[in-house]
Amino acid sequence: LSELEALMERMKRLQEDKEDEEASQEEMATRFEKEKKESLLVISGGIWAFPVQFLHFAVLFPAFDDEIVSTDVSRYVEDPGFGYKDFARRGEDHLPTFRAQDYTWENHGFSLVNRLYSDIGHLLDEKFRMVYNLTYNTMATHEDVDTTTLRRALFNYVHCMYGIRYDDYDYGEVNQLLERSLKVYIKTVTCYPERTTKRMYDSYWRQFKHSEKVHVNLLLMEARMQAELLYALRAITRHLT
């Protein structure tokens, strides 16, 4: 099977499995914890690193041979040292989790941000929904394809990297739908965009159209923005109460 056909087959199989039998809450929680820990091992630039205790069986993948240019961002920001940091240290057994059901954008963040800045909540919500639902219903040369499963995996993987868990989502889908090179690309674009290279962009979904891969970028950026807003607005809510 080609890369595209294999992905479509996995999507079809996931849908059939979901209709036949749903995973238990315990199983879904375990899968999330596994995915969350593995997301810490994804290193931007094309390699995976492992904690010392795993090195004896780890398989190290070659880095992309593009030279990653060190971008001077000081002209755009007041604090060039400000940037993404993993939400937990590698090797920790109990990683912090933000349960989305306890503080959601729809039920909590939207109303608070509207109180703080009139109508901005409506604009942000419209933007999130538009990008999340953005699709041509195509996958490369295939038409009339329901891409919902794939789009949700991309969005939820970004939130997973930020420690956000949806209790009603089976994170086993992430590992089945998102290949290693795509996970590297996602983490780089989301956390270290200045390190993104064309080789990384070309390394995943080789048969897809550029417009479809641009959709991926838009989805990643909106997922990151919503994750950051959830943390900030939850902190404001706690301060106000």
Tens-digit pLDDT profile for residues 72-94 = 666 777 776 777 777 666 566 67
- CA-wise closest residue to 33 among 131, 99, 120: 99
Residue 71 φ/ψ region, left for φ over 0, alpha for ψ in the -120 to 50 degree band, beta for the rest: beta
Element (H or E) spanning 40, and its range? helix 25-41
In the prediction, which pLDDT does 53 show? 31
The CB density around residue 129, as the number of other CB atoms within 10 Å, is 11
* Spacing of C-alpha 56 from chain mean position: 29
**Token pair listed for 54:** 């795993």
Nearest to 164 by CA among 238, 85, 95: 95
**pLDDT score, position 45:** 57
Q: Write down the residue that tokens 């205790």 correspond to.
A: 53
For 110, residues 6+ apart whose C-beta sits below 8 A from its C-beta are 121, 124, 125
Q: Per the structure block, which two tokens stand in for 214?
A: 């641009």
Residue 132 CA to residue 173 CA, distance in Å, equals: 17
- CA-to-CA distance for 173 and 33, rounded, in angstroms? 14
**pTM exceeds 0.85:** no
Interatomic CA distance for residues 216 and 18, integer angstroms: 24
Task: Point out the residues of the chain with pLDDT beneath 50.
Answer: 46-69
Give the C-alpha separation, 132 to 19, whole Å.
23
Q: Where are the beta strands (DSSP E) in the chain?
A: 42-43, 47-48, 98-99, 138-139, 142-143, 164-165
Domain regions of the chain by residue span: 3-51+84-240
**Neighbouring-strand partners of residue 139:** 142
CB-based contacts of 181: which residues, under 8 Å, 6+ apart?
46, 200, 203, 204
Sign of the C-alpha dihedral, residues 148, 220, 196, 37? Answer: negative
